[in-house]
Amino acid sequence: MKLRVHMLVLATLAFAGAACAQNGSTTAPDAGSGAPFQIRYASNLDIGDSVINITNDGDSATGSGAFLSGGNLCVGVYSFDANEELQSCCACLVTPNGLVSLSVNAINMTNLTGGLVPSLVIKLLAWSNTGGVSGTTGNPVSPNGSSCNAATPGTLAVGMHAWGTTVHALPVGQPDAYTVTETEFSAANLSSAEYQHITQFCQFNQINGSGKFGQCKGCEAGGMGAASAQ
């Protein structure tokens, strides 16, 4: 009888461990590996802008020598306020070795509530672009009728690397009140529940925002954040 009880306990623990692994409680991947799901915050947006820079390391590309084929990534951008509400979403086309960027306050200008949100959580999701989206890297991608639709991502893919800036308040007594720092986005596990949450609410924004609110304008080609040395 004791043997049966021990076996039942071990089986229960094994099942619980497997369930935890499936629900994303395992160690998060390293952002340096180009993980498809990454996260960062931006604060003090009422004081100054934050920027996001995204590139594609070409991990999904094929070919040999100087000639590459495929490897394009669609990157969904999802911004949440401090109350966990999805304020805006959009998608950007990022080609291998390309560089695109977004202004966080530009995202704020078309958010769902129509007012300035002083702090946001930004989530990025990368998937393979197999639908042949036309245009060059950085061009805003129409959310509808495209494989680069943040509400209906395709097969997730590695190769995305992203960095973001944010404004920080300095200790009292410093000559400047605020400073700006830039760090890499943090890689994160993506549960099926969170995947459904961000994509379904993005679809709600597309339907209810009438194309004006709840959707950011996409990326621009090139990097942001550096001041001109003149």
Residue 141 has pLDDT above 70, yes or no: no
Residue 112 has pLDDT above 70, yes or no: yes
CB contact at 8 A, 144 and 206:
yes
Distance CA 155, CA 160 (A): 14
User: CA distances (Å), 13 to each of 7, 18, 20, 207, in order?
Assistant: 10, 9, 11, 44
Over the stretch 151-203, which tens digit does the pLDDT of each residue have? Answer: 999 999 999 999 999 999 888 767 678 889 999 999 999 999 999 999 999 99
Distance CA 223, CA 230 (A): 18
pLDDT at position 195 is 97
pLDDT at position 176 is 73
Distance CA 141, CA 181 (A): 29
Domain-wise residue ranges, the chain: 32-221
Mean pLDDT of 56-85: 85
* Higher-pLDDT residue of 27, 101: 101
* Closest by CA position to 121, among listed 35, 218, 52, 205: 52
pTM: 0.79
pLDDT at position 212 is 77
Length of the chain: 230
Residue 41 has pLDDT above 60, yes or no: yes
Distance CA 4, CA 207 (A): 55
Confidence of residue 45 (pLDDT cuts 50, 70, 90): very high
Over the stretch 28-37, which tens digit does the pLDDT of each residue have? Answer: 566 568 999 9
For the chain, what is the mean pLDDT?
Answer: 80
User: CA distances (Å), 103 to each of 106, 130, 224, in order?
Assistant: 5, 27, 8
Over the stretch 166-176, which tens digit does the pLDDT of each residue have? Answer: 999 888 767 67
pLDDT at position 200 is 96
DSSP SS3 for 73: strand
